[in-house]
Structure 1
Amino acid sequence: MYLNKLTYVVALALVFPALANSQTTQIDEEELSILRQQIEKLQQRLTELEQIQRQQEQKIVQADLSQQSKDTDIETEVEEKRTVSFGGAIRTNYSYTSYDDDSKNRGGDFDFDIFRINMDVNIDDVFLAGEIRFFDYMTTIKYAYAGYDFNDDWQILLGITPVPFGNRPYNSQNWFFSTNYYLGLEDDHDLGLLVRRKLTDNWQLDLGFFKNDELGGVDGFVDNRADRYSYDIVGIRAVEEGIFAEPETPVGEYNTFNGRLAYQFNALGINSQIGASLLTGGIHGTDEKVGDYHAWAIHWEADWDNWLMQLQHTQYEYDVNGATRMAVGAYSFFDTIAAEAKSTTFNLAYTFSVDWGPISSLQIYNNYGLVYDKSDRSRDTLMNVTGLALSAGGLYTYFDVVTARNQPFVGGTAVGDSDETEHRFNINVGYYF
């Protein structure tokens, strides 16, 4: 457009002097013919310039479109290499107990359990996984790690990872886990490095090094060292201290080495896995190392048809300045365990498929656990859970009848001296998405 305007301006500039002179001098036809020819040439030249300009503008637009296409291809390629998925659960809980008279008078209590969010991310060959749990009384991370699969047989995890010990992933089927969970020896998660190696088609080796527990050890930057999902020791329990008190002498586990070796085989139509687990590490106070701890277990899991059986024997010891008791923490709650003890668990479960409306699966089970030979000479801890787990779409519900003695969350503590057997009927309803 601006070239057309320029044409008229130039033409006027050429004509104007002639018109001005025409007032005094008559312009002959020859001069006007020459003037018209010059104007026509100028217009042709301006038309050529406009064409050149349009071609340049088209090249610029095409270059921009090409770059946008490249950017889109790059973004699409990155998105194709990155996958993100979220899940979680919302759970509520009903309980009726023999040890809480007020609750019995109310006909039991129905409470909110948890809201949890799970995240899984995969970028190229590196994957991330995490789970955060929200309770009425605390918020805590169960696990959070990055991982890499070198191949189908070799995996490495870094962060708050599972501690491979005993029957995996759980040594139980019920909502309460086994007695080992309250000793920090089932479904435990700590901060460190875990390597999983499939040696052969039958042999599996897991090796871990854990710098400290998931809250940073004895001097972790947290408000409450009991705000955690997994049970860990948090202090030395002096004789004069209350069983549920915050420990006056805080300690934490550190530099723990862990190994689990398992062998998978089939005999007489029964799929079995037998294995052994071992862990050893140090105990550190606020200023210096104060002791060591060790644990080992032998375990066997077998399934045939719809049956599942688990058997495990475990021993642990905290060697800390001759202490007979250690303080533990979890669920925003302090408790006490013997510094040394043995544990035996036995589980039997049967799972069958059904087609009852939305109900697709049922599992019935009995989980038995006993903790004995305690260093503080307290009475044995016993817990037996008979239950039914029901799956209906996203709903998963536990119906548990618990019989226990000196068992946390069932009217007692792991260092109790009661000879009374307590009971708890529990229903946990969860929607998993």
Structure 2
Amino acid sequence: MTAMIVRSSVARVTYVIQSAISGLVSNGFKVICCFALLCPLVANGQDSTKTKQKPKLHIGGALRFNYNNSSWKKEQVKRGGDFGYDVFRINADASWKNLSLHAEYRFYSKDFGGAMLKEGYVTWHFNDSTRIDIGLTQVPFGNLPYNSHSWFFNLPYYVGKEDDYDMGIKFERTSNRWKYQLAFFKNAEELNFGDDTPTDPGRYSYDVAGRNKEVNQGNARAEYFLNANNSIGASVMAGGLYNIPTREMGSHYAAAIHANLNFRKWNLKLQSMYYQYNVADSAQYKDAIDMAAYGASYQVAANAFIHTASVSYTHPVKWGPISALTFYNDYSYMDKQVAGFQDSQMNVLGCMITAGPVVTYIDWAAGKNHSWLGPVWNEAFAAGTPGEKWHSRFNINIGYYF
């Protein structure tokens, strides 16, 4: 009963937000884009009498390797696990006057999606507290920049609600103890500009794929800082869901409350969220949708609550090059609101070892009805398996960051 009341309240609020967003999409996005593009021209005219500034550029990146031993892979267990290449990435940061650029390009193996742009956007800094990003930028939703501490993230990541990046424009302002973020995303990163082309799975963050595509999404996020180290906040999003077979528009929305709390060497991240996808398709496709990343897709329940609790403790040390050990436990629960679907759970117990530019994650990740942590791939986050047991994966990720 409580879940039904909460969902009904969230639905009413997000319906109003979605209606407002859809009414502003056609004209509002054009106005914001024109404003963002004209601001640098006006500023340059005002600065014409000043000394010319030279552009600055910094190139960085990382090389990571990964070891894993998964309980459900019997032959891998016999071999004692596998150790291999994870990712090589290049980061570029450039700036000129009040403009800046940030981009990150990743090179995974072919089976994990190959080469992909994780993020890339141009920023216009009005001042130290106000900015606009245009491009493939992080979606302002939930605890930022991450709602977790481990290499695996939390369940929201696997349904496109943590460390997600889409194509659009984002406004951010910090005022006193508040941070506000408003954004409009035309779509997820588009790799194939066809007429009825499905979303390409070769991407970093999870997006709707298969028969549907995310379009015209609006986001609003507010965060209140209790002090310099503690904050609470709320996030909402609403947008369209274009169905390729019927060529009709559905909808989707989500809402979350979240907190990021610190006390001495401890950190606690809490979040509760609800999401819903309403597809404009035949009845047989309404209970689950396809989502894709890393070169493959799977199904996800069309609506669910997800609750997460993540705690960490950082202990400084002086062991040769090692300067800190961060111990953590990230737990998340997916309460699916579709009759007959089995809920999903995830828990990651681990430690991050910091040694200068080398960062190592040692994780024991366990999952129940989890596509990445179990033998069932396509249906685990959707219908799931009745009576499914927990499966685990011991994982070590070693990265040199430069």
**What is the TM-score normalised by the length of structure 1?**
0.75
- How much identity, in percent, do the aligned residues show? 38
Contact 1:381/1:414 (8 A) holds in 2:
yes
Aligned twin of 1:185: 161
Q: State the number of aligned residues.
A: 338
The AA in structure 2 aligned to 1:261 is A
**2:157 match: secondary structure:** helix
Aligned twin of 1:157: 133
RMSD: 1.8
Contact 1:147/1:158 (8 A) holds in 2:
yes
**2:126 match: secondary structure:** strand
Q: How does 1:80-229 map to 2 (within 5 A)?
A: 80-137=53-110, 138-198=114-174, 200-215=175-190, 219=194, 225-229=200-204
1:278 and 2:236 matched: yes
Aligned twin of 1:256: 217
Contact 1:338/1:376 (8 A) holds in 2:
no
1:359 and 2:335 matched: no
**1:302 match: secondary structure:** strand
Aligned twin of 1:18: none
Q: Aligned partners of 2:198, 2:183: CA distance in 1, in Å?
A: 28
Gaps of 5+ in 2: 1-50
**2:144 match: secondary structure:** coil
Contact 1:212/1:256 (8 A) holds in 2:
yes
Contact 1:215/1:221 (8 A) holds in 2:
no
1:400 and 2:363 matched: yes
**What is the TM-score normalised by the length of structure 2?**
0.81
Shift of the 208–357 alpha-carbon distance from structure 1 to 2, 3 Å rule, reads: same
The AA in structure 1 aligned to 2:162 is E
| Higher deviation after alignment, 288-297 or 270-279 | 270-279
Q: 1:343-395: CA deviations, max 9, x gaps?
A: 00001101121111000111000000000133253211100000000011111
**1:336 match: secondary structure:** strand
**1:81 match: secondary structure:** coil
Aligned twin of 1:427: 396
Aligned twin of 1:42: none
The AA in structure 1 aligned to 2:255 is W
**2:87 match: secondary structure:** strand
Among candidates 380, 385, 388, match of residue 417 of structure 1? 385
Q: Aligned partners of 1:263, 1:315: CA distance in 2, in Å?
A: 21
Q: 1:156-177: CA deviations, max 9, x gaps?
A: 0000000010000000000110
| Higher deviation after alignment, 376-385 or 107-116 | 376-385
1:233 and 2:237 matched: no
Contact 2:349/2:365 (8 A) holds in 1:
yes
Contact 2:198/2:212 (8 A) holds in 1:
no
Q: Aligned partners of 2:80, 2:356: CA distance in 1, in Å?
A: 29
- Compute the displacement of 1:221 (Å): 10
Contact 2:190/2:199 (8 A) holds in 1:
no
Q: Aligned partners of 1:220, 1:174: CA distance in 2, in Å?
A: 39
Structure label with greater radius of gyration: 1
Aligned twin of 1:289: 248
Say which structure is richer in helix.
1
